[in-house]
Structure 1
Amino acid sequence: MSYSNSNVHAVAVIPARGGSKGVPGKNILPLAGKPLIAYSIEAALHANTVQDVYVSTDDARIASVARDYGAKIIERPSELAGDTATSESALRHALFYLELLGICPDYFVFLQCTSPLRSSDDIDCAMYEMLSNDADSLLSVCPSHRFLWELCDGVPVSINYDWRSRPRRQDMRPQYIENGSIYIYKPWVLRENENRLGGNIVLYVMDENKSYEIDSLDDFRYLEWVVQNAKFQ
């Protein structure tokens, strides 16, 4: 599906700090011959609903690679790029930085480098979901049919079903997992809530096979195999 709306001004922001410890240099590590961050940049650049693509980074190497793939750079202060820094802090800095330049988009599209399988169509369809529902913010999710448990004071407790009357998976109420791939929000949501979500929130449902995230070297190796074998298409 392809969607465009010339009356909508949206910019994509891709936070990419340089201090990843779980997978050193993760954001520019080659995935099937291309830097990981390039997948998110290219998806945003090819989306009909995104006008500009910015990478927020504290790292000169990441900035250089991002420019090579067509992104503009927001230089993030080091105090917003440490191990305890939140994505929201980088997003707020990007919002204020762009406003100082006189850039005030209707929507921000927040993409995480660690989700390389999203496509430009996914971004456009997510924006369509926002606009058609007059939403203030959106998160991408994938369906879940898993039976969840937790420990309460050491006692196992079923969360989303009654183990005494186990339902068929297809009869369970639809549930969704936040997959971290796409977030869209109006600027006021972040400014007032200091959160990427707020107001009227809607979901964009993605296939599970496009919802993989990279958090470890094992994830990286698996996603490389997926990309090389085009299993996500």
Structure 2
Amino acid sequence: MDGETVLAAFRAESQRLYEKVCGLPEAEWDRPSPCDPWTVREVFVHLTTAVGRIITMLAEPEPQPSGVLVTAAGYYAPDERFSPGANDMRVTTAQESVGAYADGRALAEHFDALWRAVAEACAEEPPERQVRTRHGDPMLLSDFLVTRVVEVCVHGFDVAAGLGHRPWPTGAAADVVARLLLDGRPYDKPVVVAGAGWDRTTFLLKATGRLPMSESERTAAERHGMRRLTLG
């Protein structure tokens, strides 16, 4: 996926997410989320931190060209980055970071300012710009930005579910995530299981573990071209 397409998806999905939460009553932020033991607030803190990593990465020296770059799909390899210990650290970090924000509105406004700063910074970088992840992986900035679209879109599913709302992905972000799951292909042919076809949002919910997927459904999805990603 080209960088401009991914950046446009990041902008659209981040704007959508902000619009959905900026007016939330304070009590709604403390509803339980599907990402046990996180609340909606803690999920939102986590995804905000994940988005902000780009600012930190761009402030560091660019990696020396090595010829071996991790792709967006490779970023989700089942290794120590998504081990139980690493996931426990994600949970704890989000819970401990909640206190940095006076209330939910302050958190939402911080996210809004942050994603805009990230988008502006990314727009100024050349297509070949490389970054190094906190795990030490060199990646193209455009590929790492794909993973941030995943964070905002998929954790947006979690926020919506915690609030009792229907999923709200933008078409641009849903396409980026679907292409990541389908090795670059668009989701233009619904997966059919037991005579019923999934729309793209249902496919994304199932493929990312937000809805249960039976073995027969997984077989059908993999026949369609779905690849498994390890998500924290």
TM-score by length of 1: 0.29
TM-score by length of 2: 0.29
Task: Give the structure with the higher percent helix.
Answer: 2
